[in-house]
Chains A and B, each alone.
Chain A
Amino acid sequence: MPLYHDEDQAMLADTASSFMAEEGNIQKQLRHWRDRDCKDGFGHGLWKQMAELGFTGILVEEDQGGLGMGYVEAGIVLEEIGRNLTPSPFLTSSVLAATALSHGSHDMKARYLPGLVAGDSVFAVAVDETAKHRPERITTRAEKSGNGFLLTGSKSFVVYGGSADMIVVAARTSGSDNEAEGITLFAVPKDAKGMSHDAVRLVDSSMATYTKFDGVELDGDAVIGEVDGGREVLDAMLRAGRIGAAAEGVGVARGAMDRTVDYLKQRKQFGKLIGEFQALQHRAAHLYSEVEIARAVTIKTQQLLDAGAESADMMTSVAKAKVAKTARLAVQEGVQMHGGIGMTDEYDIGLFMKRDRALAEFLGDSYYHANRVAEMSGY
């Protein structure tokens, strides 16, 4: 498969691009909800509109009412979300949770997927327990109890956890904290007794929760996949989320770069457009190179994941690390080249810096993923 979008994908990109620019733009969404101190951190109206376009069910199989597409297509939507800094539960619900649910039972799919596809439901995932992403270590426990389980423990950085109708929780059903096996994934509904949320607003205005499970009673049918065999599902879900976050990061980098290059063509200092200065031209051209490379490895990895290739796991970490480095460069150069005005809230460029920080941290930063590349390469 060539490393560019085919005709159908290009059409989807056109749709996503104009929709996000019109309906998902910074003024209408991010600033709007932020300035109203919205407790959800995103607009349900937009989520419904995304459902009407089929975006919400992009990874959901067709017999479940979705579009049955792949990570390339999900990435197309995410890149536009990134370019417009659109606050949306798309990544947590339609990518991470949807990937986990694809391993669920028929009944579970029937219970949750229609709501997702219709844009009525929002999902979250609870994996991390510490401030850094360490899914290798899971201490939250689910003890067998009658026909079901008792869930005890706490999770952090549960993005949109407070608004979620269902949370995918990774818990330990056997073994000790750092063991790979003995993990089970659960679909925990919003009204589960004993679950409590401590909501925090993050630097990018999005919402996350510390979520506590204090002996939450779960039915046996809350299990996604096999008891004790959840690591594989967890890994599949994480890969989906990581390449999704990479695609969104490419969008953030492009959004920041485009604004910065435009600014270089408008702003005058010393009687010249600042874009005429070679010192800035070279930095802009370097940034462009990095963004192109980050885009390339992202689409390459999306295709590998869609094809189920063996190298997809390592390439996912390559892409997440590369994009994190690139988006960081884009937002830093963006604010610096905008000068003083780049530090003001009135200008959008600073919002890109905030989103980059949150997105880079989500599901592992560049250090985590470069380390993973080294380990998988055997050094």
Chain B
Amino acid sequence: MSDLEQFRMETRKWLEANCPAEMREPVRDEEDVYWGGRNASFKNDAQKAWFEACVEKGYTVPAWPKEYGGAGLSAPEAKVLREEMARIDARPPLSSFGIWMLGPALLHFGTEGQKQRFLNEIAHGEIRWCQGYSEPGSGSDLVSLQTYGEDKGDHWVVNGQKVWTSYADQADWIFCLVRTDKANKYQGITFMLIDMATKGVSTKPIKLISGNSPFCETFLEDVAVPKSYGEDIPAQVGEVNRGWDVAKYLLGHEREMISGAGGGDRTAAIGAAMKRHAAKTGDDLDPVLRAELAMFDVDALAYSAMGEKFLDEAKAGRAHPAQPNMMKYAGTELNKRRHELMMAAGGSRSLEWESEDTGGGKPARSWLRTKANSIEGGTSEVMLNVVSKRILELPGG
């Protein structure tokens, strides 16, 4: 038996012993997701047990080094773990922007002190992070951001407003982009870590067209940010004024995540499911709708092959660095189309906003939510700009 097969058998045994039955169900709503943090509470004992078992094993962040709270798994081992968890439909033990976004940035740009402290806190679910990039005047044109940090020697005084900060009202800390040099567009931005309990930080939720929202506005008024949180723990990641490098690195991660490059249900074919769905309500698929579903399925299955190819090429270091932009563009446009078709197939039932049958208007709310896919993490237009300039090398500013 190869080492990897051995690892698979051990993993299977460990999951069997440690993943409670209640945690082997697809996530149904927000309560099923555990985000950690200072004020976190568990939905039930099973969620708690599953989380604690994973923390102990390093499985909240399996690929991170052991000294930072991970399990130190190799890429093939991490893949085996993912496959084995998927096999039993195991829920993620911990969801967190710390894992998805700040962690990769710290691993790449952080000091040893920052890694020791923050990566461990993230892995153990002790701290919940939110991301402060966008501002009311700086969406796709992120580099035009205005939030300003004035240098006061041993600390910064930060003033400004962030927007679309997901779950800011429940987060403990925020990693955000702050302008620290007004004269320099790209090289005047610092990637700063700010405790949200600091005086002057406040948040306000934003209600969206879907009726609910994870998003907030975050206000920073005369917030005093110490330049250091301890020995070798500076408040900024990377160098002062070089936060754009960190942000760009992270945006790459975010786009891959949003595009669903790893597969998942946003690229799955839906025609058969829509037919079953229609049959349940006593409807037939209109032949023209059926034709559109068939064309969609062709595109979705082809995109899913693209996702696989992209991952294979990325692993082998063959993918063009701007390829995630193309994946993000194509994936999010596809997902919007998918939900338009699902609404059409659902008919009047999918219009229901509050009924029990629709789980409180899930089809309609999801449909509305997808409209943000081609805006968040860089609009489709920005993605196309990047592809045309960096891959096709078309001319002009």
Q: Are B316 and A288 in contact (CB under 8 A)?
A: no
Q: A4-B313, A296-B309 are in contact. Are A275 and B381 (CB under 8 A)?
A: no
Decide: A282 near B312, CB < 8 A? Known: A322-B302, A379-B271: no
Asked if residues A370 and B298 are in contact (CB atoms below 8 Å), the reply is yes
* B318-A281 in contact (CB<8A): no
Cβ–Cβ < 8 Å partners of A292 in chain B: 306, 326
Residue with the highest number of chain B CB atoms closer than 10 Å, among A286, A295, A318, A379: A379
Residues of A within 8 A of B330 (CB): 289-290, 293
Contact A371 B294 (CB under 8 A): yes
**Across the interface, do A293 and B269 meet the contact criterion of CB distance under 8 Å?**
no
Indicate if the CB atoms of A377 and B394 lie closer than 8 Å.
no
A315 to B326, CA, bound (A): 23
Bound form: Cα–Cα A5–B383 in Å: 27
User: Does B392 contact A297, Cβ atoms closer than 8 Å?
Assistant: no
**Given A281-B384, A293-B303, A293-B306, do A276 and B396 touch, yes or no (CB 8 Å)?**
yes
Which residues of the partner chain B approach A379 to less than 8 Å between Cβ atoms? 271-272, 274-275, 285, 290, 293
Specify which chain A residues have a CB less than 8 angstroms from the CB of B303 in the assembled complex.
293
B4 at the interface (CB under 8 A from A): no
Q: CB of B388 within 8 A of chain A?
A: yes
Asked if residues B392 and A284 are in contact (CB atoms below 8 Å), the reply is yes
A275-B396 contact given A281-B385, A288-B387, A292-B326, CB 8 Å threshold: yes
Which residue in chain B gives the minimum CB-CB distance to A320? B298
CB of B232 within 8 A of chain A? no
Q: How far is the CA of A294 from the CA of B326 in the complex (A)?
A: 13
- What is the bound-complex CA distance between A319 and B299, given in angstroms? 9
Contact A3 B309 (CB under 8 A): yes
A137-153 vs B, CB cutoff 8 Å, 1 = contact: the mask equals 00000000000000000
A374–B290 Cα distance when bound, in Å, is 8
Evaluate contact between B272 and A282: CB separation under 8 angstroms: no
Query: Which of A276, A325, A370 has the largest number of chain B CB atoms within 10 A?
Result: A370
Any chain A CB within 8 A of the CB of B297? Answer: yes
State A164–B269 Cα separation when bound (angstroms): 41
Partner of B318, one of A4, A273, A319: A4
Closest to A265 in B: B395
Contacts of A277 in B (CB 8 A): 396
Contacts of A322 in B (CB 8 A): 298-299, 302
In whole angstroms, what is the CA distance A370 to B329 when docked?
A: 23
- Closest Cβ neighbor of B334 among chain A residues: A293
- Bound complex: CA A56 to CA B241 (Å): 61
Contact size range, A:
35 or more
Contact with A along B293-326 (1 / 0, CB 8 A): 1110111011101101110110110100000001
User: For the complex, what is the distance from the CA of A378 to the CA of B316, rounded to whole Å?
Assistant: 37
Minimum Cβ distance to chain B for residue A180 (Å): 22
- Whether the Cβ atoms of B391 and A370 lie closer than 8 Å is no
Contact A4 B312, beta carbon cutoff 8 Å: yes
**Across the interface, which residues of B come within 8 angstroms of A265, CB to CB?**
393-395
Contacts of B75 in A (CB 8 A): none
**Which partner residue on chain B sits nearest A379 by CB separation?**
B275
Nearest Cβ in chain A — how far from B116, in angstroms?
36
Is A2's beta carbon under 8 Å from chain B?
Answer: yes
Whether, in the assembled complex, A369 has its beta carbon less than 8 Å from a beta carbon of chain B, the answer is yes
Q: In the complex the two chains form, is B326's CB within 8 Å of A369's CB?
A: no
Chain B interface size, as a band, is 35 or more
Whether A275 contacts B309 by the Cβ 8 Å rule is no
Instruction: Say yes or no: A261 contacts B392, CB within 8 Å.
Output: yes
Which chain A residue shows the least CB distance to B275?
A379
Contacts of A288 in B (CB 8 A): 326, 387-388, 391-392
Q: Mark A313-328, 1 if CB is under 8 A from B, else 0.
A: 0010011011001000
The residue among B305, B315, B384, B396 with the most chain A CB atoms within 10 A of its own CB is B305
Q: A296-B309, A373-B294 are in contact. Are A276 and B384 (CB under 8 A)?
A: no
CB–CB B305/A296 < 8 A: yes
Nearest CB to that of A276 among chain B residues? B396
Asked if B384 contacts A286 (CB within 8 A), the reply is yes
Q: Are the C-beta atoms of B394 and A296 separated by less than 8 Å? A: no
Determine the chain B residues whose CB is within 8 A of the CB of A278 once the complex forms.
385
Contacts of A261 in B (CB 8 A): 392, 394
The answer, yes or no, to whether B9 is at the interface (CB within 8 Å) is no
A296 and B308 contact, CB distance less than 8 A: yes
**Which residues of B have CB within 8 Å of A273?**
395-396
Closest partner residue, chain A, to B381 (CB atom):
A282
Whole-angstrom distance from the CB of A72 to the nearest CB of chain B? 13
CA distance A377 to B293 in the complex (A): 11
Complex CA distance for A72 and B325, rounded to whole angstroms: 27
Nearest-neighbor residue (CB-CB) of A378 within chain B:
B272
A300 touches B308 (CB 8 A): yes
B306 to chain A, nearest CB (A): 4
Q: A276-B396, A288-B326 are in contact. Are A319 and B385 (CB under 8 A)?
A: no
Known A281-B384, A288-B387: A377·B269 in contact at CB below 8 Å: yes
Q: Is A59 an interface residue (CB 8 A)?
A: no
**B291 interfacial by beta-carbon distance below 8 Å:** yes
The reply to whether B294 and A370 form a contact with Cβ atoms under 8 Å apart is yes
Query: A285–B271 contact, CB under 8 A?
Result: no
Contact in complex: B301, A297 (CB < 8 Å): yes
Produce 1/0 per residue, A353-379, CB < 8 A to B: 000000000000011011101100111
Contacting B298 at CB < 8 Å: which of A285, A296, A325? A325
Q: Which residues of A contact B392 (CB under 8 A)?
A: 261, 281, 284-285, 288
Chain B residues, Cβ within 8 Å of A264 = 394
> What is the chain A residue whose CB lies nearest that of B394?
A275
- A321 near B394 (CB under 8 angstroms)? no
Q: Are B313 and A3 in contact (CB under 8 A)?
A: yes
Pair B309/A299 contact, Cβ less than 8 Å: yes
Once A292-B306, A370-B291, A370-B295 are accepted as A-B contacts, the answer to whether A3 and B312 lie under 8 Å apart by CB is yes
Instruction: Report the minimal beta-carbon distance from B204 to chain A, rounded to whole angstroms.
Output: 35
Could you tell me the distance in whole angstroms from the C-beta of A276 to the nearest C-beta in chain B?
3
A377 to B290, CA, bound (A): 12
Give the complex CA separation of A265 and B299 in angstroms.
30
Q: Tell me the complex Cα distance, A125–B189, Å.
A: 65
Of A296, A370, A377, which contacts B306 at CB under 8 A?
A296
Given contacts A4-B316, A296-B310, 5 further A-B contacts (CB under 8 A): A2-B315, A282-B381, A296-B308, A297-B305, A366-B295
Q: Nearest 5 A-B pairs (CB), nearest first?
A: A276-B396, A379-B275, A281-B388, A3-B309, A297-B302
Give 26 CB contacts A-B under 8 Å.
Answer: A3-B312, A264-B394, A265-B393, A265-B394, A273-B396, A275-B395, A278-B385, A284-B388, A285-B329, A285-B384, A285-B388, A288-B326, A288-B392, A292-B326, A299-B305, A300-B308, A318-B297, A319-B302, A325-B299, A370-B294, A370-B295, A371-B294, A373-B269, A378-B272, A379-B274, A379-B275
